[in-house]
A = this chain, B = another copy of it.
């Protein structure tokens, strides 16, 4: 019940991983530069070599660094980072340029989610559909904005799972982080009826097994979702067609 915030009681090596990883992602240690030697990091953070080494292994596993004897531990070019790794993502979103990153994540989502819905229409099982429907119903029944957003997230995640393609799942994870971040400040209360209708349209298409309808319904949904994001976070989220509209 009284679940303590695990931010305070996280293991030491996680904290070190966070500090080092974060400082790499925010560019404090430029690409190609070397981290301080193990021993030095130990002193700086007042932890044992065990902890530092394990943190370095974790970061190596995420593609952020590589280490060789004598030459030290260097930061690899960002092209080789596992940018969709939840931790890397989090470190990105901690920076000052949140909106830039949220916009980029939305670009990826716009690419993937219509296809995911189409796949869901042809691959979803009973349980998948039940989860998607539960998301819709949850949005319907939501009293608070928090409940609404939570149900919204559940709905979209269920679609990714319904593809029965595990390589779509990390995108869903990414998307959860994104959406949660997007609406921490303001939540889209006004367009709820329309949003609900559009979510139902996706659900219906999937239930009917109509891949094309599911894809198109999702495109519509995402377009309006982009509108909300523009309203809430700013113009970074505009699509090309919207920019055109505004210019006229």
Contact = CB atoms under 8 A, between A and B. Distances in A.
A34 interface: no
A104 interface: yes
A122 interface: yes
A186 to B, nearest CB: 24
Contacts of A174: 167
Nearest to A157: B79
A170 B240 contact: no
Q: Is the interface of A mostly helix, strand, loop or mixed?
A: helix
Interface in A173-197: 173-174
A115 interface: yes
A107 B119 contact: yes
Interface string A4-16: 0000000001000
A225 interface: no
Interface string A157-180: 000010101111110011000000
A105 interface: yes
A225 to B, nearest CB: 16
A22 B86 CA distance: 21
A87 B61 contact: yes
Interface stretch (A50-58, A136-144, A226-234): A50-58
Q: Which 6 residue pairs are nearest across A and B when measured between Cβ atoms?
A: A111-B115, A58-B61, A54-B57, A61-B61, A104-B165, A108-B167
Given A57-B57, A61-B61, 13 more contacts: A13-B57, A58-B61, A79-B161, A80-B173, A81-B169, A82-B82, A83-B170, A104-B165, A104-B167, A107-B115, A107-B168, A111-B112, A122-B240
